Every structure is written in C-alpha cells, then in structure tokens.
C-alpha cells in the first residue's frame, strides 16, 4: 500500500487529518516561490504542523486505531513530505 493510500485510510477514521493536509498544502502553495524557506521550522515550531499532528494521531489520539506507531509514522511521513524543500540561507542546508 502506498503512503498516500495509508494516509487516506487514516483520514477515514479521523477526518481532522484531511483538514491538516489541506492547511499544509495551502501553506506549501503560498511558500513555493520564496527565496528563503525552512520546512523543519514550520514543522517543528511550537505551533507548527507537527504539534497539530500529534493531537490527531499517535499516543494522544482520541481514536484507539490511530494510537499506533505505524499510524503516526504514515501520517507524519505523508504530511511532512507535502512541505516545500528547504532553500536559501536555511540552517538545515
């Protein structure tokens, strides 16, 4: 099963993951042409995308089916990969 298919299955259990996906896609679109961009900063900052993710899937999920490492890893990998690559004077590079 592809990562996208796994993520779609998770969304069937928790539709809030689709809302997060939409937010990340919109964020990515609005940042595609910027000279400086750090995906890690937007993912890991206090109110970043990872903070939103951990409330929906993983140990803190209200859905028992989504409290697994496998579910968390699938959602994490799929959503993180939607972000644009780091570029410019990013400290990650």
- As a whole number of angstroms, the distance between CA 58 and CA 41 comes to 21
Angle at the Cα of 44 (from 38 to 49), degrees rounded to 5?
Answer: 95
Residue with tokens 């697994």: 68
Mean pLDDT value of segment 61-81: 97
In which band, very low, low, confident or very high, does the pLDDT at 1 lie, cut at 50, 70 and 90? confident
Judge if pTM exceeds 0.85.
yes
Residue labelled with tokens 């809302």 = 19
Closest C-alpha among 46, 45, 28 to residue 37: 28
């Amino acid at each position: 099963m592809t990562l996208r298919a796994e993520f779609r299955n998770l969304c069937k259990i928790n539709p809030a993951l689709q809302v997060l996906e939409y937010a990340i896609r919109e964020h990515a679109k609005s940042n595609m042409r910027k000279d400086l961009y750090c995906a890690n900063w937007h993912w890991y900052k206090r109110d970043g995308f990872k903070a939103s993710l951990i409330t929906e899937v993983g140990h803190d999920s209200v859905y028992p089916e989504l409290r697994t490492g496998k579910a968390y890893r699938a959602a994490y990998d799929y959503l993180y990969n939607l972000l644009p690559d780091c570029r410019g004077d990013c400290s990650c590079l």
